[in-house]
Amino acid sequence: MAKLPPGFRFHPTDVELIMYYLKRKIMGKKILFEAISELNIYKFSPSDLPDKCCYKSKDLEWYFFCPSERKYASGFRMNRTTETGFWKITGRDRRVLYDEKFVGSVKTLVFHQGKAPRGLRTDWVIHEYRFEDKDMAVAGFSLVPF
Amino acid sequence: MAKLPPGFRFHPTDVELIMYYLKRKIMGKKILFEAISELNIYKFSPSDLPDKCCYKSKDLEWYFFCPSERKYASGFRMNRTTETGFWKITGRDRRVLYDEKFVGSVKTLVFHQGKAPRGLRTDWVIHEYRFEDKDMAVAGFSLVPF
């Protein structure tokens, strides 16, 4: 990826993330600009994730595509545990509208160190982007230190 | 200027505006990316300015370089009147530091319709960027509808 000129940044809206990046990824279409890295984020500690992102900037936000893994083959619960802790859903989903139509949703998850249901809350937050309400094989994530 | 890919925006910091864009402009150096239009902003109503900006986006912020005009040849007061009103300084200057050094300052001005000192306050705001504290021939501006 070519370096961006000064002042230019990757600051996508929810709609751009869902309707362009995530939709194209799910459909297997090319994305010309490598701003979002493909990575199983649950294999890493939150603090190791920034270095794994292909898009380098001084912004404290990083974007990833991540394969969705079920906790049990038969169920819908996602496996969000990592080696050192787990990502816990916080608050309600945010619905994303485009042209007055529902196009996706955003979950907020906070990293907790240790084992569920206990664990020590940290300042690491991810937003999980889903295309429509379908159970897709890939979700989009943005990571921020709270 | 080539169209930016989805999610990429011109969101410069104070330091980038002063140390890259404004400094290069003052020094007569080339700026490869036309994100900032050169324009005498005092010749227009605020609502006509967005169309004059070369950088098109959905962001409600526009950037300009503007020649500085003195009110009186002998003095330092700037002439900030337009045909339909005037830009009035609001609040104190914001000092911009880079590597702990003072590199410039930012003034906030609000557009008032009518004649000074009266006039009807509007929601149009500009931020005037100055390189160091020198009396340069060009200032940088960002325009926002409040």
Identify the residue with better confidence: A117 or B135: A117
Return mean pLDDT, chain A.
85
**pTM of this prediction?**
0.79
A41 found inside a domain: yes
**Which band of pLDDT confidence, cut at 50, 70 and 90, is reported for residue A139?**
confident
Identify the residue with better confidence: A101 or B142: A101
Number of separate domains in chain B: 1
- Residues spanned by the domain of B131: 13-26+37-55+62-69+78-145
CB contacts, 8 Å: B6 with chain A: 12, 16, 20-21
- Per-residue pLDDT reduced to its tens digit, B6-32: 898 899 999 999 999 998 988 889 887
A125 found inside a domain: yes
Instruction: Write out the residues of chain B at the interface with chain A, using a CB-CB cutoff of 8 A.
Output: 4-13, 16-17, 20-21, 32-33, 35
**pLDDT value of residue B74:** 59
CATH of the domain at A118: 2.170.150.80
- Top residue of B3, B4, B8, B62 to mutate, by most chain A CBs within 10 Å, is B8
B6 found inside a domain: no
Measure the CA–CA gap between B50 and B64, rounded to whole angstroms. Answer: 10
Average pLDDT of the segment spanning A16-34: 87
B7 found inside a domain: no
Provide, rounded to the nearest whole percent, the portion of chain A with pLDDT above 90: 42
**CB–CB of A140/A63 below 8 Å?**
yes
A7 found inside a domain: no
CA Rg value for chain B: 15
Structure tokens at A5: 């000129």
Structure tokens at A58: 């001084």
The shortest CB-CB distance from A12 to any of B7, B13, B33 is to B7
Measure the CA–CA gap between A25 and A7, rounded to whole angstroms. Answer: 27
A110 found inside a domain: yes
The shortest CB-CB distance from A8 to any of B6, B10, B17 is to B10
| ipTM of this predicted structure | 0.78
B3 found inside a domain: no
**pLDDT value of residue A93:** 92
Nearest C-alpha of chain A: how many angstroms from B112?
Answer: 30
A1 found inside a domain: no
Residue labelled with tokens 């008032």: B112
